[in-house]
């Protein structure tokens, strides 16, 4: 069964809209764990428009499952990750002006840069995951960089799922076969939700982890956080 890592950025977005500490991001993370989440994901950005760098340091002291810190590996991000030492660092190619992740790495063009970064993280016993589009050559590149895992960027799957599920997942299945042959773990994330998650997992049962934030938090507004997390966990169970 793939583990569910809840991205709590949206809690921080709501808090930052009014100032103060409501909702409490640290408590939100603890509640997610208490309700069954097997990991917590955060994505601090340079403008700190949602998760702040200080939040990450606080979460390091309270998360009892796995903390996954994702972001663009500039100097400040690397300092934060090496200081907080999460279970996993997910490297994404987002620039500072990007609203949300919208593409995977070109692991060939950025091979030298990423190889150095991955080596540094692994020396500090931090598992590394590279955000990837479902392209064979990019998965191969991630393996050559020395990453432990890839995170498949699932926006195109989610967009096409309602038109033709089999076609939507096809490239992801192929990329996963390549990853398996190269001993890369497979994570997935972006626009996965209660409608499309089970099919993705059934077609790619070797998925190790899914990171879900926006859809899950939107569902929680109507369904409640505890109930929503349980619904997502049920989708991940391969009966």
Q: Which residues are annotated as catalytic?
A: 43, 70, 190
Closest by alpha carbon to 34, among 55, 69, 64, 60? Answer: 64
Closest by alpha carbon to 147, among 114, 174, 177, 112? Answer: 114
**111-123 and 136-145 helices cross at what angle (nearest 10)?**
50
CB 32 within 8 A of CB 229: yes
CB 131 within 8 A of CB 104: yes
**9-18 and 25-34 helices cross at what angle (nearest 10)?**
150
């Amino acid at each position: 069964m793939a583990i569910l890592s809840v991205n709590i950025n949206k809690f921080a977005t709501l808090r930052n809209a009014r100032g103060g500490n409501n909702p409490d991001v640290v408590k939100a993370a603890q509640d997610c764990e208490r309700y069954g989440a097997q990991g917590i994901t955060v994505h601090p950005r340079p403008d700190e428009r949602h998760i702040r760098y200080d939040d990450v340091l606080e979460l390091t002291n309270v998360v009892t499952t796995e903390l996954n810190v994702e972001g663009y590996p500039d100097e400040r991000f690397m300092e934060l990750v090496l200081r907080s030492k999460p279970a996993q660092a997910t490297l994404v190619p987002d620039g500072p002006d990007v609203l949300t992740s919208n593409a995977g790495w070109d692991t060939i063009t950025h091979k030298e840069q990423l190889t150095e970064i991955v080596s540094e993280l692994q020396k500090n016993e931090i598992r590394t995951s590279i955000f990837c589009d479902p392209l064979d050559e990019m998965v191969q590149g991630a393996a050559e960089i020395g990453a432990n895992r890839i995170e498949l960027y699932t926006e195109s799957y989610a967009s096409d799922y309602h038109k033709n599920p089999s076609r939507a997942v096809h490239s992801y299945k192929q990329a996963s076969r390549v990853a398996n042959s190269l001993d890369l773990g497979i994570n997935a994330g972006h626009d996965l939700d209660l409608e499309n998650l089970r099919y993705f997992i059934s077609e790619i049962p070797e998925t190790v982890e899914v990171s879900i934030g926006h859809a899950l938090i939107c569902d929680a507004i109507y369904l409640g956080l505890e109930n929503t997390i349980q619904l997502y966990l049920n989708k991940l169970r391969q009966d």
